[in-house]
């Protein structure tokens, strides 16, 4: 290349988000429900000052640039301060998911060689249980007012957050360094094997926030009030803590209380305009609102992700004046890849048409490219009925796992482009609207066609006698695989194999209809309630299809 | 630094915008009024294909990476194709402002060593006049249908755009290179000296578009239809051609016809939602709409920049259902620095309060920092009455001029941060809302206070006997400078010096009131109609203030 542009060279750093907020949105509020029980109010200016103090104090304690510093915490202002202090000083904010098993947490803490772990007092019992197995940890920092420290501490070397912070210098200056430096670490657990780490960079996190903020992304302005119900230990609360500083909106952090009543109270009291969370949360909120015949005063937009949202929920939210957007992504994608939302002239479409579109996973945000491929890795066309394995690429999408592993997910195509396999099977329409039809490991590959296990299950579940159903592949000499349906009947309900297979007529093309139905008393479930299809396939591996 | 993040490394290139559009917004329309006279319709997919063809053809012609390739063109699809072909292949899109004098154009073409110049047929006479003085230019490419090429060409070595493009290969693959490479060049003319070049990088242009798209920026989504009246030769039409590909909105390009009737016709026929341009354009449009008693069907947002917008215009647009946002920036800032707009709960404020806020220059976008400084370069506080010289910094703000010059505008503060002096004098309120009060060279520095010449002139202009007024500084032994007012009276109107000075009572603090009034028959004006204050100060340099 010949010539470089002559514009200022300024790295995209997490600290640059905070510096912007401190100068240009200093009075924006951060409201937190604390584990101490009260509602705490502060401003971005105060957060910025305390983050500098904390960074200074951590430097004094010997925390190094590039070092992983762990948190086990709810959404609250201290967690936000840690995000910025740790990343801003050049260390790595490593958010631990406290819902992992103690064994997984011990594995992760050892793998990441954490020396410092911040924790909310709720998690003291967890710390007590794992501390002895975490030899790298030198200090456990309890995020609580100094006068609320319990008499009995969960382990040795427990420090108090406020006491540490008070020793720091608010005049600390954020160091400038390469924007490709790591800023965050989040482990993700597959169905098998140990959790794997995803190491975000300052660049990827800032670019992700810049795209998440767009009108075709989440679309937030400085006048919004945002409640991230999605935890800050779950892919950085979908990037909202970064977007908050970039945009200067008011942030409402719900702490440990995520039930319908508590969320409703915050939405109303703090005049929230957008809340973000998984479908389960909205189910709890909707139940509470409907049972008590309540309304929303300001809450009118929700971002739902983490799992597919049922149309019935989109409809129920709409009836309460809340428009839904669905975000799809992964820990490996920072997380946003696509957003499904209705705006502009599409707001004039029939409501049910709008809901059906929102229920799909959406269009790619700028920066993210996606494609669907067949088993040979060849790109499949968009706009047809064909579904294929979904591959993605982009500047906030994983290049490799921290410490290795999962290499099979990465591939390079003929033009030299690197892609990450999401593990999802999808269809993309001619406008670029993507719909996930199955998980790769669950899809049934029959005579070159990919049959969605989810589609088969949804039809079965619509039958009044079916309590639960799983469609799985069994081996077939001619078609390689064929689907069978494993069904649990409702108590006192009856349905025969033939009746259930006939129920598929006209609802799906003939060759997708399962070859057989097996009735069982129960299906195997994992810790999060999902059907363990791997286990089911193992169970039926010698199953002989009827002639 | 210890550790880099493990996210994909993908440069932010202008071609990545086009690749995104081609895959994810392929059917979005581009409608152009052509110099051929007709209305032309195409899609982003077709634009992408033709841009690749053009890049391939230019490569064959010997255009090199890093080379400046000039355009003298209106807003139309061919200009858009050149933007992407030239920058995408690694050369530099150099937009020439055809409103410059032939002497200035010749200076610029020689300074930038252009070998290729694209031009719309409208500018054939201009090419004819300057070609002989541009020894570096090897080919002049006329942007017109092949069968519309005139019999008489303006100079030697004139090629046809479509003929060149037809030879290119649509299978051309965009090269990948460092995002800091130059992608665009735009010269800006000060009041003195030769025009100076601003050399944009791929990184700066893409980041600028990402911020311009935010809801606190221009705020555009894929469902919008956007009419950039602001020319593509004027700071890249404020970045809209880049934002178009990122967002996938419908783009309406008005070509050479910028009168009220022609713009109105496009707004209605193409269902435009947002139009962007300088105040003069809206004046023409408003006159046409009011005189013909018309309404707007879809047009409801306007972005105004380039000059301060009068409140009367904001009010008139609002009455027609169009909300105004004001953008402030400079060629040296890509151009966006601040945006002033009303959204969220502020829409409930009294209208006149909203208009007054829009009339200020606005809040800094993420990435842009700004400060006001006194004569010693010390930062002044925000929220007070003090105004100071406005300095800016950010990743899409100039680091140095192309080929040098203007070094005085750049400074480094005590913390090592580089700043660019805008040449404006501003006030910033406690919320970060910035208001330009004067140009640095026009402000009157009196006893440590900075008196806005604009404020003094606005008061004088409100007097019924005043046709035109200019406030300038004259030397003063004690106060260094004091303001005097130079006034042209309206024909047949009378007002005395003392009456006019008394007219200031209560409208401004006492020490800001001019020391004297001088009546003249006319004031010196520049080519664009602005009062030449430099010349006026020269004229009054020996002026003796009354005792």
Could you read off the pLDDT of A389-425 as tens digits, one per residue?
999 999 999 999 999 999 999 999 998 999 999 999 9
| Closest CB from B27, B397, B432 relative to A8 | B397
Contact flag B223-A344 (C-beta cutoff 8 Å): yes
User: Are B31 and B46 spatial neighbours (Cβ–Cβ below 8 Å)?
Assistant: no
Q: Indicate the CATH number of A14-201 among 3.40.50.1000, 3.30.70.100, 3.40.50.12780, 3.40.1390.20.
A: 3.40.50.12780
Tens digits of per-residue pLDDT, A505-537? 999 889 899 999 999 999 988 766 678 888 898
- Each domain of chain A, given as residue ranges in start order, spans 14-201, 365-439, 444-539
Computed from CA positions of residues B18, B23, B28, B34, in that sequence, does the dihedral angle turn out positive or negative? Answer: positive
The DSSP bridge pattern shows strands A516-519 and A449-451 to be: unpaired
| Structure letter (DSSP) for residue B388 | E
Task: Please compute Rg for chain B using Cα positions.
Answer: 25
Nearest to A118, CA basis, from A128, A130, A127, A105? A127
Nearest to A92, CA basis, from A188, A179, A183? A183
Q: How far is B398 from chain A (nearest CA, A)?
A: 4
Show the tokens assigned to A433: 């609207």
Q: What is the mean pLDDT of chain B?
A: 94
Contact flag B7-A173 (C-beta cutoff 8 Å): no
- What is the pLDDT, as a whole number, of residue A528? 61
In angstroms, the CA A443 to CA A452 distance is 5
Q: What is the mean pLDDT of chain A?
A: 94
Contact flag A7-B201 (C-beta cutoff 8 Å): yes
Place of tokens 């059917």: B27
Q: How far is A200 from chain B (nearest CA, A)?
A: 5
Nearest to B367, CA basis, from B210, B201, B197, B185? B210
- What is the pLDDT, as a whole number, of residue A196? 95
Mutation target among A1, A2, A3, A429 for the B interface, most CBs of B within 10 A: A3
- What is the pLDDT, as a whole number, of residue A403? 92
| Closest CB from B10, B90, B430 relative to A395 | B10
Q: Which parts of B378-459 are beta strand (E)?
A: 388-393, 410-412, 418-428, 434-439, 444-446, 449-451
Confidence of residue A192 (pLDDT cuts 50, 70, 90): low
Catalytic residues of A: 188, 332, 445, 450
ipTM metric:
0.92
- What is the pLDDT, as a whole number, of residue B54? 98
In order of A421, A498, B378, B514, B545, the CA distances from B445 in angstroms are 64, 94, 16, 12, 16
| Closest CB from A3, A92, A334 relative to B3 | A92
Sheet with A274-277: list strands edge to edge: A39-43, A29-33, A250-253, A225-228, A274-277, A301-304, A323-329, A336-340, A363-364
Tally of CB atoms within 10 A around B428: 28
Q: How far is A504 from chain B (nearest CA, A)?
A: 35
Residues of A whose CB is below 8 A from B22: none
Tally of CB atoms within 10 A around A421: 18
- What is the pLDDT, as a whole number, of residue B384? 80
Q: How far is B288 from chain A (nearest CA, A)?
A: 27
Residues of A whose CB is below 8 A from B23: 364, 369, 432
| Closest CB from A211, A343, A394 relative to B221 | A343
Q: Count CB pairs under 8 A between chains A and B.
A: 233
Residues of B whose CB is below 8 A from A200: 5, 7
Tens digits of per-residue pLDDT, B248-280? 999 999 999 999 999 999 999 999 999 999 998
Number of Cα atoms under 13 Å in the Cβ half of residue B103 = 3
In angstroms, the CA B69 to CA B115 distance is 7
Tally of CB atoms within 10 A around B462: 11
Q: What is the mean pLDDT of residues A293-306?
A: 96
The DSSP bridge pattern shows strands A196-201 and A225-228 to be: unpaired
User: Are A237 and A75 spatial neighbours (Cβ–Cβ below 8 Å)?
Assistant: yes
**Whether the predicted pLDDT of A1 surpasses 60:** no
Write out residues in chain B with pLDDT < 70, as ranges. 1-2, 190-192, 527-529, 547
- What is the pLDDT, as a whole number, of residue B24? 97
- What is the pLDDT, as a whole number, of residue A448? 79
In angstroms, the CA B14 to CA B25 distance is 16
Contact flag B4-A182 (C-beta cutoff 8 Å): yes
- What is the pLDDT, as a whole number, of residue A78? 98
Contact flag B182-A67 (C-beta cutoff 8 Å): no
Computed from CA positions of residues B40, B43, B46, B52, in that sequence, does the dihedral angle turn out positive or negative? Answer: positive
Residues of B whose CB is below 8 A from A19: 369
- What is the pLDDT, as a whole number, of residue A191? 58
In angstroms, the CA A86 to CA A70 distance is 10
Tally of CB atoms within 10 A around A497: 15
Place of tokens 């072909």: B85
Tens digits of per-residue pLDDT, A49-67? 999 999 999 999 999 999 9
Show the tokens assigned to B125: 């006479």
In angstroms, the CA A230 to CA A327 distance is 12
Residues of B whose CB is below 8 A from A247: 214-216, 366
- What is the pLDDT, as a whole number, of residue B201? 98
In angstroms, the CA B444 to CA B437 distance is 11
In angstroms, the CA A16 to CA A57 distance is 20
Tens digits of per-residue pLDDT, A128-160? 999 999 999 999 999 999 999 999 999 999 999
CA dihedral A395, A399, A403, A406 (to 10 degrees): 130
Contact flag A395-B211 (C-beta cutoff 8 Å): no
In angstroms, the CA A309 to CA A341 distance is 13
The greatest distance separating any two alpha carbons of chain A, rounded to the nearest whole angstrom, comes to: 79
- What is the pLDDT, as a whole number, of residue B266? 98
- What is the pLDDT, as a whole number, of residue A92? 98
The greatest distance separating any two alpha carbons of chain B, rounded to the nearest whole angstrom, comes to: 79
Q: How far is B488 from chain A (nearest CA, A)?
A: 42
Residues of A whose CB is below 8 A from B415: 173
Locate the chain B residue with the closest alpha carbon to A15: B367
Helix/strand/coil for B274? strand
Contact flag B222-A402 (C-beta cutoff 8 Å): no
- What is the pLDDT, as a whole number, of residue A384? 80
For residue B339, which phi and psi values (nearest 5 degrees)? -135, 140
Full 3-state SS string of B419-439: EEEEEEEEEECCCCCEEEEEE
Place of tokens 């002497």: B103
In angstroms, the CA A15 to CA A174 distance is 7
Nearest to B225, CA basis, from B278, B273, B262? B273
Residues of A whose CB is below 8 A from B340: none
The DSSP bridge pattern shows strands B301-304 and B274-277 to be: parallel
Residues of A whose CB is below 8 A from B7: 199-201, 203-204, 334, 395-399
| Closest CB from B199, B223, B363 relative to A6 | B199
In order of A212, A325, A329, the CA distances from A338 in angstroms are 10, 10, 7
Q: How far is B321 from chain A (nearest CA, A)?
A: 16
| Structure letter (DSSP) for residue B407 | G
Contact flag B418-A223 (C-beta cutoff 8 Å): no
In angstroms, the CA B442 to CA B465 distance is 24
Locate the chain B residue with the closest alpha carbon to A344: B223
Q: How far is B419 from chain A (nearest CA, A)?
A: 9
Contact flag A7-B334 (C-beta cutoff 8 Å): yes
Contact flag B363-A2 (C-beta cutoff 8 Å): no
Backbone region of residue A19 per phi and psi (left: phi > 0; alpha: psi in -120 to 50; beta: other values): alpha
Computed from CA positions of residues B256, B260, B265, B270, in that sequence, does the dihedral angle turn out positive or negative? Answer: positive
Q: Which parts of B68-169 are beta strand (E)?
A: 68-72, 92-95, 116-120, 139-143, 158-160
What fold characterizes domain B365-439?
Luciferase; domain 3 (2.30.38)
Contact flag B201-A5 (C-beta cutoff 8 Å): yes
Backbone region of residue A492 per phi and psi (left: phi > 0; alpha: psi in -120 to 50; beta: other values): left
- What is the pLDDT, as a whole number, of residue A190? 65
- What is the pLDDT, as a whole number, of residue B480? 87
Burial class for B7, CB neighbours closer than 10 Å (0-12, 13-18, 19+): buried
Nearest to A131, CA basis, from A109, A146, A98, A160? A109
- What is the pLDDT, as a whole number, of residue B191? 58
| Closest CB from A1, A9, A431 relative to B181 | A1
Contact flag A10-B395 (C-beta cutoff 8 Å): yes
What fold characterizes domain B444-539?
GMP Synthetase; Chain A, domain 3 (3.30.300)
Range name among A48-52, A295-299, A355-359, B442-446 with the lowest pLDDT average: B442-446
Range name among A15-19, A442-446, B291-295, B312-316 with the lowest pLDDT average: A442-446
Contact flag A180-B67 (C-beta cutoff 8 Å): no
Kindly report the pTM of this predicted structure: 0.93
Place of tokens 């719309």: B120
Task: Establish whether domains A14-201 and A444-539 are of one fold.
Answer: no
Catalytic residues of B: 188, 332, 445, 450
B233 Cβ contact list (under 8 Å, min separation 6): B71, B72, B73, B95, B96, B97, B98, B186
């Amino acid at each position: 290349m010949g010539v470089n542009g002559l514009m200022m060279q300024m790295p995209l750093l997490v600290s640059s988000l905070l510096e912007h907020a401190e100068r240009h949105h200093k009075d924006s509020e951060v409201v937190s429900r604390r584990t101490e029980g009260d509602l705490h109010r502060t401003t971005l200016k105060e957060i910025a000052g305390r983050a500098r103090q904390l960074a200074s104090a951590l430097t004094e304690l010997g925390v190094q640039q590039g070092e992983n510093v762990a948190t086990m915490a709810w959404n609250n202002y201290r967690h936000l301060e840690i995000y910025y202090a740790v990343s801003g000083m050049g260390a790595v904010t490593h958010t631990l998911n406290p819902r992992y098993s103690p064994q997984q947490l011990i594995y992760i803490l050892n793998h990441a060689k954490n020396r410092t772990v911040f924790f909310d007092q709720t998690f003291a019992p967890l710390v007590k249980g794992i501390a002895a197995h975490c030899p790298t940890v030198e200090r456990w920092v309890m995020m609580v007012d100094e006068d609320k420290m319990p008499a009995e501490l969960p382990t040795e070397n427990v420090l108090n957050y406020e006491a540490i912070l008070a020793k720091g210098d608010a005049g600390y200056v954020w160091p400038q360094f390469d924007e490709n430096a790591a800023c965050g670490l989040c482990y993700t657990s597959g169905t098998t094997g140990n959790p794997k780490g995803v190491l975000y960079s300052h660049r990827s996190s800032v670019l992700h926030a810049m795209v998440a903020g767009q009108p075709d992304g989440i679309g937030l302005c400085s006048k919004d009030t945002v409640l991230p119900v999605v935890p800050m230990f779950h892919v950085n609360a979908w990037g909202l803590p970064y977007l908050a500083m970039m945009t200067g909106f008011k942030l409402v952090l719900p702490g440990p209380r995520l039930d319908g009543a508590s969320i409703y109270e915050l939405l109303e009291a703090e005049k929230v305009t957008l809340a973000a969370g998984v479908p389960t949360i909205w189910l709890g909120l909707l139940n509470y609102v409907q049972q008590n015949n309540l309304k929303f005063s300001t809450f009118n937009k929700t971002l739902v992700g983490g799992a597919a949202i049922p149309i019935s929920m989109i409809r129920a939210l709409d009836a309460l004046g809340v428009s839904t957007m669905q975000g799809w992504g992964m820990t490996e994608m920072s997380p946003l890849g696509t957003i499904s939302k209705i705006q502009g002239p599409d707001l004039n479409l029939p409501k049910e048409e709008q809901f059906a579109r929102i229920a799909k996973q959406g269009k790619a945000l700028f920066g993210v490219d996606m494609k669907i491929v067949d088993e040979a890795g060849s790109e499949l066309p968009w706009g047809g009925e064909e579904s294929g394995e979904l591959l993605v690429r982009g500047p906030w999408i994983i290049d490799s796992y921290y410490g290795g592993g999962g290499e099979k997910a990465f591939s390079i195509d003929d033009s030299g482009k690197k892609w990450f396999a999401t593990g999802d099977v999808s269809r993309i329409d001619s406008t670029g609207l993507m719909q996930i039809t199955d998980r790769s490991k669950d899809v049934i590959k029959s005579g070159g066609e990919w049959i969605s296990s989810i589609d088969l299950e949804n039809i079965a579940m619509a039958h009044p006698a079916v309590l639960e159903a799983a469609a799985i592949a069994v081996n077939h000499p001619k078609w390689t695989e064929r689907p069978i349906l494993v069904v649990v009947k409702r108590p006192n309900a009856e349905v025969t194999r033939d009746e259930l297979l006939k129920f598929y007529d006209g609802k799906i093309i003939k060759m997708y209809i399962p070859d057989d139905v097996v009735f069982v008393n129960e299906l195997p479930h994992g810790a999060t309630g999902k059907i363990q299809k791997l286990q089911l396939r193992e169970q039926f591996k010698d199953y002989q299809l009827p002639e």
